[in-house]
Amino acid sequence: MALKTASEYLESLRRMKLNLFLLGEKVEDWVEHPIIRPSINSVAMTYKLAQKPETRELAITGSTLIKEPINRFNSLFQSAAELVLKVKLQREMGRRTGACFQRCVGMDAINAVFSVTFEMDRKHQTDYHQRFQDWLKYVQQNDLMVQGAMTDVKGDRGLSPSEQKDPDLFVHIVDRSNQGIVIRGAKASQTGAANSHEILVMPTLRLSEKEKEFALCCATPTDARGIHLVYGRQPNDTRKLEKADLDLGNLGFGGQETLTIFDNVFIPWERVFMDGETDFSSPLVERFASYHRQSYGGCKSGIGDVLIGAAASMADYNGVAKASHIRDKLAEMVHLVETIYSCGLACSYEGEKTAAGNFQCNILLANVCKLNVTRLPYELCRLAEDIAGGLLVTMPSEKDLRNPEVGRLVEKYLRGKAEVSTEARMRMLSLIHSMTMGTTAPSYRTESMHGAGSPQAQKIMIERLANLDARKKLARKIAGIDQREDVLE
C-alpha cells in the first residue's frame, strides 16, 4: 500500500500510542482533540490531493526504490523539474489550508540524508546509505508521515554542545550496545511531530572532532518508548475549545509545534545513519536547511494567496474596493507573494544532481528565498491589517453576535455594505486575525521569521557563497584595471 487516503491516515494515527501533553494534561484521544485536530486536517490534505485526479500530477511521483507511485512528500528528487513540482505542490497546499501542512520538513530531511549518507559511506566505508534506503522503502511502502528533527534546544547559545553544563541540551548518544544506541536530549519547535509516524533525527549545527556523541542521525517511531511530546501554545488556542467557530477564522486547518523530548530512547543499528562522523554534520545541516528554505517559496506564497483573498474580500465588504490606495495595496501584496514564489522556482530550476543521484536545489538562491520570506510576509500582514481596518482587533465575539439581547445590535452596527451580512464580514476579519496574529498556528508572520532558520543563518550562507572575488574580477575588467575582454577575439 504505497498511497494512503486521508481517512486511512487518520486511522493510522489512532493506532499510535503517543505520550503527548497539552495544557498540563496527558492527551489520550488526541486525534479528536479540538486544539490538535485542525493541524491533523492540514496533513490529511496531503493525502487527499494524492487521490484527486486534478492534483495527482503534483502530489504523486514515481519511486526509484519500490517501483511504485508514491506521495511526493516521501520522494527523492530525480530532476530539477521535480524540485519545481515540489514548490508548486506546496503552493497548492498553502492555498487549500491557509496554514502549515507539516510534511515538508520530512521530505527535505529525506533528501538531505540520502545524499549525505552516500558520501559518508564513500569516505568512511560505512553502510549508512543502505540502511537509510531500507528505512525509506518502509516509509514509502506505508505512505508514512516523517517529521524531520533538527532544532536542538541549545541551552547557552554562546557555548558549543560539548561546553554545555548539561549535555542533554543537544540530542546525543548516551550508550551503545550490539543491538543499537540510546539517545537523550530534546528538539524544540518540532513541526507536526504529534501528527507523524516517524521522526528523522539530525544534528543541528557544525560539530568539532571532540563532539562525536552529538554527530547523530537516526530514525525512530514517534510513539517509541521514552519519547515525550509537549504541545506548543498558540495565540488564542483555547478558542478552539469554545463552541464558536466564527472566532477561529480558519476553522478547519492549522499548524503544530511540539517540544520533543528523547528520554533514553533506544535506536536499533539499522535505523542509525550517522554515528560520530562530525565532518558530515555541517553538510547535512546545510543541505537540509537549503531544501527547507526552498520550501518556503511554495508554502508561504500559497498561504499569502489566501491572505490576499481575505484582504480583497474585506475591501469589498467595506465598500472600498475601487479606492485607488486599496487597489495599490492589493497589487503590492500580489507583487510580494509572486516574489516569494519566484525565488522558490529559481532555486529549483538551478538545482543540480548530487553524487547520490537525487537533486539538490541551488543553495545560494534557496537562502535568498528564505531571507525574503523573513521580510515580505511582515509587509503582507501589515497591508492586510491596514485594509481590514481596526475592527480586526476590537471585534466582539460570536457569542455576542448570537446573544438574544445584544446580538441584533451587533448585527446592525457591524454591517459594512448592505448586501454583505455582518456574519460574513466578521468571519473574514477573523480569518485575517487568525493568519496574522492568532489561531492558525504557527502564525504567517512569526513562522516566516524563524522557520528554517532565522535571518542571520541565511545571511551567513549568502556571504559564504557570494564569491565576491569573482565579482570583483568582473568589475576590474570592466573598469580597465585588469585587461578588458576583446569582443573581436
List 33, 97, 100, 347, catalytic entry? 100
List 292, 317, 341, 343, catalytic entry? 292
**Taking the CB of residue 21, how many other CB atoms lie within 10 A of it?**
16
**CA–CA separation, 295 vs 113, rounded Å?**
17
Q: Which three cell numbers stand for residue 152?
A: 536542538
> What does the CA dihedral 122, 128, 134, 136 come to, rounded to 10 degrees?
-90
Residue 361 known to be catalytic: no
List 97, 117, 151, 191, catalytic entry? 191
150-158: long-range contacts (C-beta < 8 A, 24 or more apart)?
150/109, 150/187, 150/202, 150/203, 150/204, 150/285, 150/288, 151/187, 151/188, 151/189, 151/190, 151/204, 152/185, 152/186, 152/187, 152/188, 152/204, 153/185, 153/186, 153/187, 153/188, 153/259, 154/188, 154/204
**CA–CA separation, 123 vs 80, rounded Å?**
27
Question: What does the DSSP 8-state code read for residue 420?
Answer: S
List 217, 218, 299, 347, catalytic entry? 299
User: How distant, in Å, are the alpha carbons of 277, 346, 430 from that of 199?
Assistant: 20, 30, 34
Please return the burial class of 205, using the count of CB atoms within 10 Å of its CB with bins 0-12, 13-18 and 19+: middle
Residue 292 known to be catalytic: yes
Task: For the sheet with 20-22, list strands across it.
Answer: 25-26, 20-22, 227-231, 257-268, 180-191, 172-176
List 46, 104, 343, 369, catalytic entry? 104
Q: Are strands 69-71 and 146-149 parallel, antiparallel or unpaired?
A: unpaired
DSSP per-residue string spanning 335-381: HHHHHHHHHHHHHHHT-EE-TTSSEE--HHHHHHHHHHHTTHHHHHH
Residue partners of 412: CB distance under 8 A and separation at least 6: 422
Q: Are strands 227-231 and 257-268 parallel, antiparallel or unpaired?
A: antiparallel
Residue 325 known to be catalytic: no
Q: Which three cell numbers stand for residue 56?
A: 495527482
Residue 231 known to be catalytic: no
What is the identity of the amino acid at 355?
Answer: A
DSSP per-residue string spanning 253-303: ----EEEEEEEEEEEEGGGEEEES-GGGHHHHHHHHHHHHHHHHHHHHHHH
196 three-class SS? coil
Please return the burial class of 408, using the count of CB atoms within 10 Å of its CB with bins 0-12, 13-18 and 19+: exposed
**CA–CA separation, 148 vs 131, rounded Å?**
17
Taking a C-beta distance cutoff of 8 angstroms, is the pair 343, 365 a contact?
A: yes
List 257, 277, 286, 385, catalytic entry? 257
Residue 100 known to be catalytic: yes
Residue 405 known to be catalytic: no
The residues carrying an active-site annotation are: 100, 104, 191, 257, 292, 296, 299, 447
